[in-house]
Structure 1
Amino acid sequence: MTSSSPHTVTGPPGDEGPFLPTSGRRRRRGSGPARPVDPMRPGRLAGVLLTTTFTLIALGALLSFVGLPYVVMSPGPATNILGKTGGKPLLEVEGAETYPTEGRLDFTTVSVRGGPGDRVTIYEVLQGWLSPFEEILPVDAVFPPDTTEEQAEEEGAAEMADSQNVAAATALRALGRDVGQVVAIAGIPEDSPSKGLFEPGDVLVSVDGDPASSADAVRAAVQRHAPGDTFPVVVRRGGTERTVSARTAESEGRTVIGVGLRIEFDLPVDVTLNTGSVGGPSAGLMFSLAIYDVLTPGALTGGEDIAGTGTMEEGGLVGPIGGIRQKLVGARTEGAEWFLAPAENCDEVVGHVPDGLRVVRVATFEEGRAAVEAIARDDTEELPACR
């Protein structure tokens, strides 16, 4: 049979075989509309699933190694300065009579992941965002740009050493002891206008004719000048005094000579704090209270467990610190019921105090000592709080 259809079927009428020509597609006799063939056959589906699985595994592995420019801050341990570490007293004083004490004066810490030499992964960042006790910060908000791991460790160790010296001087002065001090050069940045003129360790004798009696006195003398000025600075280097013509520059609207300063004290006793690898300046307040405690009869704490934080500045001022929310959690985890917080950190304290912990606001060493004494005698109604 011949047909005008583009399909040609041979055989007698009525016996076209099991399929009929229908618009170029073959359909079973008596069936409905043609069903499309499923392209995702079982074998192909398994291959897609396998490929997807391997892709996700590879992506997860990649993300676990890719470092992000963030720092994750977590609660760190709280350590009793009046206790022992590694079988030896954490605080040791030689050259003065010491007294037995009790209770706890804890310095608090923050565990920092990320930063120079230790980039955090996306998993650690996500975990930090989800945790109520951790905080995520850009790495540049914690460490100066281009800081190396070695530089960060050296700076932390230097800050810890300085905080211990200031704490010892503060406690001894509170006891009426005479403590001499000098202002020394701590460091000179590469871009300093005075690079090559000063050396780390130089002791400042006078600045533009004024005695370098304190860091504030040095800064005041520098501020009398405009950026670009030069003036004489007398330093003691290797036991010999020499005059240096310091150059000034502008930094954040202020005149500077581009050097870091540190205070060196002539302590009448030897004070050693065995803090291990912990760095930074924020334990100064608690160090000074502990040193004062062991140098005075009786227990300053009255046997109470008191934690705290805050830098100890020249003149007995308590300075603000970072990571106070994490330190509050760490203190309470170790069992502290009281926490001494720098007055300038109060805005960060409000709303983040763990249950069972009471925070006292302090701005000076004397306020910190008065607070501990009030806690010891259970006279705490008038203690200032962060509100």
Structure 2
Amino acid sequence: MPRRTATMLASTLMLFVLFCTGLFIKVPYAEMSPGPTVNTLGDSRGEAVLSISGRKTYRTSGHLNMTTVRVTGADYDMNLLEAVYGWLAGDNIVVPHDNLYPNGKTDKESTQENAEEFSQSQESAKVAALKQLGIPVSARVVVSSVVKASPSEGKLHAGDVIQAVDGTPVKEPGDVAKLVTKHKAGEPVEFTIVPAAEAAEAERAHREPGAPTKITITSGKAEGDGHAIVGIRAGTDHTFPFTVDIKLADIGGPSAGLMFALGIVDKLTPEDLTGGKFIAGTGTIDDEGKVGPIGGIQMKTIGARQAGAEYFLTPAENCASAAAHVPDGLTLVKVSTIGDATKALEKIGKGDTAGLPHCDKP
């Protein structure tokens, strides 16, 4: 056999062996890639993403797209070949598995956590949007969750409105723990509540709930310092003066909060804020309208540009990393609050973009 032919055969065989080896060697990495974007002013799967009833709405145009990131699942075993391909591919990022799923988090646990964060982001988006528009929103302290096999199990339920503890009115979720821990373990604690079903019915009817109920719970003992506990987590819920529904399937996490809020603001504002422009963005949002950072910013800007976006509303804390890899043709607009974002929309919609706050490269 000629030496050249033998060398080519050996090289081919070596490549084949390396290829097969790469298929079977598992590596502790996960992959992130651009996910779909959805216009919060439009429809998804035949249903309006944002629908408002009980309040006059106005015509909108253009796009206010929320953006997503695709990630490999917690239980997915990436092989070496896939990792190498991901490192070489321009639109993908390969990261340590534990960065996305710390402490051995499973797919089920991750999905549940993302669903809870997504639900909370919708609530905060509604609150922030209405506050931005000067529309009053009433808040109340509620039972967010009940610990299994705790003193409260079967007595208090998620969604119950907590009006008082031992006759003392509560205004913030933290008030509940402060009042409970004034007791010694084993002492009774009296809760004044409105049951979740009655509170939900009252909210749907936009009325005040009926007479409250008093529930007495014998406190338990916390591990460690032994302070009194009842086994609930308190949170905040809101009553809105009209109905705002957000419908979007198969999306999780908190990062769509800003774009949901802006979609609500646009629909309730007489002026067409986008002016027909294609604007995308991301960012968490709290009840006061503060915009927070998110993960996977590079993937989101790529996905936004691929969908056709010309402007991308970027949380201030993500600006540096976003600017380091900004796609051609996409302008990054720095925002810290819903007020910043609303002003940016007005400028973009009117074509007055000279004064927009941009994200600078590091």
- The TM-score range, normalised by the shorter chain, is 0.7 to 0.9
User: Is the alpha carbon distance of 1:309 and 1:207 closer, same or farther for their aligned partners in structure 2, counting shifts above 3 Å?
Assistant: farther
Name the CA distance, whole Å, in 2 between partners of 1:178 and 1:286: 21
Name the CA distance, whole Å, in 2 between partners of 1:187 and 1:139: 29
Instruction: Find the counterpart in structure 2 of residue 178 from structure 1.
Output: 136
Confirm or deny that 1:352 pairs with 2:311. Answer: no
Instruction: Find the counterpart in structure 2 of residue 311 from structure 1.
Output: 284
Name the CA distance, whole Å, in 2 between partners of 1:126 and 1:210: 61
Counting aligned pairs with the same residue, the percent is 38
Confirm or deny that 1:128 pairs with 2:86. Answer: yes
Secondary structure at the aligned position of 1:277 is classed as: coil
More displaced, 122-131 or 368-377? 122-131
Confirm or deny that 1:272 pairs with 2:234. Answer: no
Name the CA distance, whole Å, in 2 between partners of 1:210 and 1:382: 51
TM-score (norm 2): 0.76
Q: In the alignment, which of 70, 76, 87 is matched to residue 46 of structure 2?
A: 87
Instruction: Give the letter aligned to residue 97 of structure 1.
Output: K
User: Is the alpha carbon distance of 1:200 and 1:88 closer, same or farther for their aligned partners in structure 2, counting shifts above 3 Å?
Assistant: closer
User: Is the alpha carbon distance of 1:52 and 1:282 closer, same or farther for their aligned partners in structure 2, counting shifts above 3 Å?
Assistant: closer
**Pairing 1:28-43 to 2, within 5 Å after superposition:** none
Instruction: Find the counterpart in structure 2 of residue 112 from structure 1.
Output: 71
Instruction: Find the counterpart in structure 1 of residue 3 from structure 2.
Output: none
Confirm or deny that 1:282 pairs with 2:241. Answer: no
Instruction: Find the counterpart in structure 1 of residue 124 from structure 2.
Output: 166
Is residue 79–residue 106 contact of structure 1 (8 Å, CA) maintained in 2? yes
Name the CA distance, whole Å, in 1 between partners of 2:21 and 2:147: 41
**CA positional deviation for 1:97:** 1.5
Instruction: Find the counterpart in structure 2 of residue 386 from structure 1.
Output: 359
Instruction: Find the counterpart in structure 2 of residue 339 from structure 1.
Output: 312
Is residue 285–residue 292 contact of structure 2 (8 Å, CA) maintained in 1? yes
Instruction: Find the counterpart in structure 2 of residue 98 from structure 1.
Output: 57
Instruction: Find the counterpart in structure 1 of residue 265 from structure 2.
Output: 292
Name the CA distance, whole Å, in 1 between partners of 2:318 and 2:190: 37
Instruction: Give the letter aligned to residue 353 of structure 1.
Output: V
User: Is the alpha carbon distance of 1:138 and 1:302 closer, same or farther for their aligned partners in structure 2, counting shifts above 3 Å?
Assistant: same
**CA positional deviation for 1:72:** 1.0
Confirm or deny that 1:62 pairs with 2:21. Answer: no
Instruction: Find the counterpart in structure 1 of residue 6 from structure 2.
Output: none
Secondary structure at the aligned position of 1:114 is classed as: coil
Secondary structure at the aligned position of 1:106 is classed as: strand
Name the CA distance, whole Å, in 2 between partners of 1:77 and 1:142: 19
More helix as a share of residues: 2
Instruction: Give the letter aligned to residue 152 of structure 1.
Output: S
TM-score (norm 1): 0.71
Gapped regions of structure 1 (runs ≥ 5): 1-47, 251-255
TM-superposition CA deviations, 1:39-58 (whole Å, max 9, x none): xxxxxxxxx99998997676
Q: In the alignment, which of 313, 321, 326 is matched to residue 294 of structure 2?
A: 321
Instruction: Give the letter aligned to residue 354 of structure 1.
Output: P
Instruction: Give the letter aligned to residue 150 of structure 1.
Output: K
Name the CA distance, whole Å, in 1 between partners of 2:177 and 2:334: 34
Root-mean-square deviation (CA), in Å?
A: 3.8
**CA positional deviation for 1:371:** 0.8
Instruction: Give the letter aligned to residue 245 of structure 2.
Output: T
Is residue 202–residue 235 contact of structure 1 (8 Å, CA) maintained in 2? no
- Bigger RCO (CA 8 Å, 6+ sep): 2
Is residue 78–residue 331 contact of structure 1 (8 Å, CA) maintained in 2? yes
Name the CA distance, whole Å, in 1 between partners of 2:166 and 2:105: 33
Name the CA distance, whole Å, in 2 between partners of 1:302 and 1:384: 19
